[in-house]
Amino acid sequence: MMKRYPFLFNFDVRNKFFSSTAFGPASRNLGMSAVASLARRDDPTGLHDLIQLGRLRHERVKVPRDDATLLDWAVNVLDVHAEKKSILEVEFMGEEGTGLGPTLEFYSLVAAELQRKDLAMWLVDDNFTHKPRDKSDHYVQRPGGLFPAPLPQDNIDEVVGLFGFLGTLLAKCLQDSRLIDLPLSTSFIKLICRESPICPQSQVGISKLVALSDERDEIMNNGSLSDAEKTHKVEGLLLDYNGTKCKVEDLGGLNFFLFSFTSYPLVEGGERVDLTLQNARQYVDLTINFYFELGLRKQMAAFRDGFNRVFPITNLLSFTKDELHLKLCGDQTPQWTRDDVIAYTEPKLGFTKDSTGFLHFVNVMCDLSGSERKSFLQFATGCSSLPPGGLANLSPHLTIVKKVNVDSGDGSYPSVNTCVHYLKLPDYSSEAILKERLLAATREKGFHLN
């Protein structure tokens, strides 16, 4: 019922069912008495007991905080733990932090590494002809999110292996209820769900080529025109290519090779088949098929194999693409209002809802830009995204306490116990100082006693 008719159940019920059943029974010693208790509870769905049956044990690993080797460590760690019915907790060597905070930091760092351009996993909007301006320029940044780069299917073993790892990583995040800061595109989520994605027709003027081909077909099918008139009108059709009006045949060098590749023929002998208005539609169809089928076949097969090592990917069928995106990546553009911050943040140990220091904090939170909000969440929770439902569903809720020690004046900085979302905030004399010190703290890295 959940897989075939998911519309019959709201998201909360489907999500509880998924959490309770997707990963198999983890507690083998409960026996039939626990199962029999399903009939004795007042819960008509029985989901409460199923959750108890599905609890997983925790296993801890240590990794170095080293950009050069982090991805290799992550691949090895996930390879060992993929098929274990346990929750993975990560610590960084030489650091004091344990539990949820370092674990989410690990997933965040791995997510950043997977977005490197040099891995050749994702479509990019540049052609690598310029020298990277800074470190951020080494990462794929696309407005629509990450989508796999379609590639000729020979000699891509390294990329295929990375997609296998990605499948295992995302499945492990779902199993362990971890969010990962990976801006996946809706089209890629559709591929994961085995739906037909939306064609990115902005690719190198494909949409213009389709429109011109359709206009030619309309002219040729116009019975009121003579053959000579049809020929004259078709010869007058021009393509706007990189700001220049020209005939398709005059583009020069465009044939049945795929855009962005110099060695992949779309048809046998494609290098000898010139692109014209007559065959433009065939060219577009073959290109789209390469982008979403032929050029992704090995990558998506490896992704599903890697995912299935943790739990069957078919268990995702009860979720829509938008729901699955939220479950995996959380809210990539975190939003909150003043009422949200007051309602879902708990002031304690020196602060109350009416404290000047706490109200300064509320005002600063509402004044943060989108990137600053993500930085704050990364600092305070270990993940730069919010779960579905925003601050209301952050578990545990953010707690704010007054930081009291000899160095807790305007010159000191906030500190945090990330695992329990516990922010220790000096009682600053102004909002401006609070914001400056808070943002400075978010730029620090590492888990140490504070």
Catalytic residues: 419
| CA dist., res. 77 & res. 14, Å (int) | 30
Contact 251, 241 (CB under 8 A): yes
CA distances from 361 to 71, 350, 365, 408, 441 (A): 36, 14, 6, 16, 14
| CA dist., res. 427 & res. 404, Å (int) | 8
What is the three-class DSSP state of 401?
Answer: strand
Query: 348, 447, 333: which is closest to 104 by C-alpha?
Result: 447
> Parallel, antiparallel, or unpaired for β 244-246 and 345-348?
unpaired
Output DSSP code: residue 346: E
Query: 251, 296, 295: which is closest to 277 by C-alpha?
Result: 251
Q: Is the sign of the CA dihedral 121, 331, 374, 142 positive or negative?
A: positive
> Parallel, antiparallel, or unpaired for β 398-402 and 422-425?
parallel
The H or E element spanning position 155 is: none
3-state secondary structure 92-128: ECCCCCCCHHHHHHHHHHHHHHCCEHHHCCECCCCCC
Contact 53, 38 (CB under 8 A): no
Query: 439, 428, 314, 357: which is closest to 2 by C-alpha?
Result: 314
> Parallel, antiparallel, or unpaired for β 244-246 and 239-241?
antiparallel
Instruction: Report the amino acid identity of residue 21.
Output: T
Read off the tokens for 38. 């399903």
Question: Which residue bears the tokens 């879902």?
Answer: 344
The H or E element spanning position 244 is: strand 244-246
| CA dist., res. 189 & res. 128, Å (int) | 26
Read off the tokens for 78. 């996930």
DSSP secondary structure string, 43-55?
A: -TT-HHHHHHHT-
Half-sphere exposure at residue 77, Cβ-oriented, CA atoms within 13 angstroms: 25
Q: What are phi and psi of 39, to 5 degrees?
A: -80, -10
